[in-house]
Copies of this chain bind each other. A is one copy, B any other.
Amino acid sequence: MTQSREEFEARLRKIGAERYHDLHSCHDLLHSGGCTPDQVRAWVINRYYYQHSIPMKDAAFMSRVEDPALRRAWRSRIEDHDGTDENEGGIRRWLRLAEAVGLDPDYVASRQGILPGTIFAVDAYVRYVREKTLLEAVASSLTELFAPKIHADRIKGLLKNYDFADDSALSYFRKRLTEAPKDVAFGLGWVLDHADTAEKQDAAAAALIFKTNVLWSQLDALWGAYVEPARIPPGAWIPGEGLLLQRAS
């Protein structure tokens, strides 16, 4: 049976409450100061692959949208990540975080040493948006509903617990505090408007679950590789590689 707009929004929010990656032990460890510098670096290196892929995901979405108004509304997501004349963009801000934790930003941008588990999960997201219905593609972006809280926790936890953390290093997260709510207000409204049958509501909910799996799986890969007992897969980043010091030498 088709749910009311309110019931369906509550169903989507419940998915976040049960499955969003703020529940993963990895984030407790990171925000509480329990990560070693190398574990923070491994997170920065791997999460870069997600940052790198998001504008490609958004372009894949726009490549399938025939309505100029929808494309126009979506375009700011690419600008937010890739930058404009006035805004350096999320990818450059992420590389400033990389530098702050002692990594060579060129190394991080080269995408060497990324865990295969990260790549498979993120690529699955890009392909999902390229291949599924527009409704499913928009619904999969709604994890941003749950992002402001994790970004606020992260800014607070990193500032308190790590020497590298300052306003410049954390500017990515602070900027997302204003960008994500703007995007998600549009995305949520669009999904609530267009998921007008039980079947479409089920598809949209499944899309949001898929996306929570994409985020969770990245942390699983990171935890397995770099948290004790660490088991780094062949070819993945080994602590000591890609440091700023190596670049100077």
Q: Which residues of A contact B (CB under 8 A)?
A: 18-19, 23, 25, 116-117, 119-121, 123-124, 127, 209, 212-214, 216-217, 220-221, 223-225, 231, 233-235
Contacts and interface: CB of A to CB of B under 8 A. Distances in A.
Q: How many copies does the complex hold?
A: 2
A116 B217 contact: yes
Given A223-B224, A231-B223, A234-B19, A216 B116 contact: yes
Nearest to A213: B116
B224 A220 contact: yes
Contact of A116 (B116, B121, B225): B121
A21 to B, nearest CB: 10
Nearest to A215: B116
The 8 closest A-B pairs by CB, nearest first: A116-B213, A120-B120, A224-B224, A19-B234, A120-B124, A116-B217, A120-B121, A117-B217
A222 to B, nearest CB: 10
Contact of A233 (B124, B213, B233): B213
A127 B127 CA distance: 9
A117 B19 contact: no
Contact of A220 (B209, B214, B233, B235): B233
A146 to B, nearest CB: 13
A214 B214 CA distance: 16
B213 A235 contact: yes
Contacts of A223: 224, 231
Contacts of A221: 117, 217, 220-221, 224
